Structure 1
């Protein structure tokens, strides 16, 4: 597979040179004279129409850098909107040659860059991702980014892209504070470390943590409260029930005694 990729890259590089040379030649011999005849009179100078100065495009590379605008030029030429009336209009064949050239440039660039995603920006975690990561690592929903600025969105509306998730010095300080906050939840245990749902800053915090662990232990037990309430009631009335020596343990574990037969 690797040799195939290398071969494809070599072929692409081999054909790119002649194709670009041909496009450059067509730009010089066809496109530039067309622009000089029909476009430059309005689209040049210090205040060009539509802020489009065709004199700024002297090579194929200049066009490639600003291809979205040239795609718009091709669309306007296809629609017959440019040049505007009453300006002199080009012959349909000349118009088509320029349109074909713009499309040829687009197809060439698409083939040349096929499979290349472009620059992939390094990015930080979004606020939500950071909160989830801390929760997964500690087992506690600390949400350390609640004091962070809201994540900005890019023009498409996504807030998890490299261009929107930049890191500033002020935000870096926020991350350091968040790390300290997570560290404040750290608890040393006989078996290693754990994280409390509240900061562990003073001794009473440790007591609160220990009590909560006990409570959580009992909350996790499959307790049938009806059985215990019945045992408590039977223990309270054990004499009347004919079980004066009964204990809570025996009443909880043993089934209730059958009622004594009536005389």
Structure 2
């Protein structure tokens, strides 16, 4: 008996143009699409012939628990259908895509993966913030701010001791704790950026330092979904803006 197929697809960071061509082709060939809250629903236009089921979370309310999503994938696949699991960013970066793939495989379902552009690097990039830059940062950490036990990841304290760029996802509720760890390492003046709803029309950004970013976040009412970037690379954004201002002034003067 043909048990269908599961394809895990990364939708990218928010802007629908940042999904891959392979991801679009998977949607076009889908019989069922299970999609999350952070996925732009305009992407579903590529799968109009498919059954579309929202399985995401909004403001702490789950449309489906994870166990129910797993069962739904297998149930539809057992009907001989091609199930596309559409997830924001890259499904293998804090996206539970690996768990869903494993569950489907254990039930005899064929699985495939289409990587997505991770918000951890693309959201800063779209704001002219590189995660590495020669002379400023030789490496970067990508950390979940909140573990499954709803506590701050212990990796944050380790990252605070390094000279690397630190990118924290799902960390806004722990912003005070995070900045305290960096202050304890004498990094009060290290630049910090917070980007909310990155690459979308709702995007908001706050720039400050380890010492000032909490106040900036309150002033600008920054909240989840947001990405926190800590490191000297944040200065690149302002440097580019300053260069562009000088360039355009020269052009006007000529």
TM-score, normalised by the number of residues in structure 2: 0.23
Hey, which of these two has a bigger chunk of helix by percent?
1
TM-score, normalised by the number of residues in structure 1: 0.23
Larger Rg: 1
Q: Which structure would you say has the larger RCO, counting Cα contacts within 8 Å and 6 or more residues apart?
A: 2
